[in-house]
Amino acid sequence: MSGTDELLARHRTAPRAGGTTASEPSSRVAIVTCMDARVDPARIFGLDEGDAHVIRNAGGIVTEDVLRSLAASQHFLGTREVVLVQHTDCGMHTASEEQALASVEAATGAAPRELGTFADLEASLRASAMAVRDAPYLLTESVRGFVYDVMTAALRETTV
């Protein structure tokens, strides 16, 4: 059975909690975090359905697409706060951008324009916060950054 088939089987037997009718997050918070399977924003923050928008990508970095999603989240769905969460032992924190791109190209013959690796976790959070603050089309009232420790489940705020 493929991984997708396994997820579909789980869906068929998963309890149905019913959905919220409001599309606006009740907390007015958008969380930007990594796609790493060990990082579960609902568990980390005790979220229920409808509490927050969650935007995920490799590394939890703020890219042009994340800014696009934040613009939609803020202008159409009322969020005003941004929470950035990156984590220890992140795959995007293990190689230089050049090494990562070369690895992808060696395996496939092609590579994306960029992958967004980073050498310093806190510097990456600061750069992401600056990208949010500098976007003239966002309505952000607050942006805060956190490092999640995947081994201890501790969440540490960092100055961004």
For 119-151, how does the pLDDT look when each residue is reduced to its tens digit (9 = 90+)?
A: 999 999 999 999 999 999 999 999 999 999 999
Widest Cα–Cα separation across the chain: 47
Kindly list the domain boundaries of the chain, sorted by start residue.
25-117+128-158
Enter the DSSP assignment of 51: S
- Cα–Cα distance, 110 to 91 (Å, whole number): 20
Query: 25-117+128-158 belongs to which homologous superfamily?
Result: Carbonic anhydrase (3.40.1050.10)
**Overall average pLDDT of the 52-79 stretch:** 97
Query: What is the per-residue burial (b if ≥16 Cβ within 10 Å, else e) of 19-55?
Result: eeeeeebebbbbbbbbebeebebeebbebeeebbbbb
User: Would the pLDDT of 21 be above 80?
Assistant: no
pLDDT for 108: 97
> Which pLDDT does position 19 carry in this prediction?
61
Reported pTM: 0.90
- pLDDT above 70 coverage of the chain, percent: 96
Q: Residue ranges of the alpha helices (H) in the chain? A: 3-13, 41-45, 64-77, 97-108, 121-134
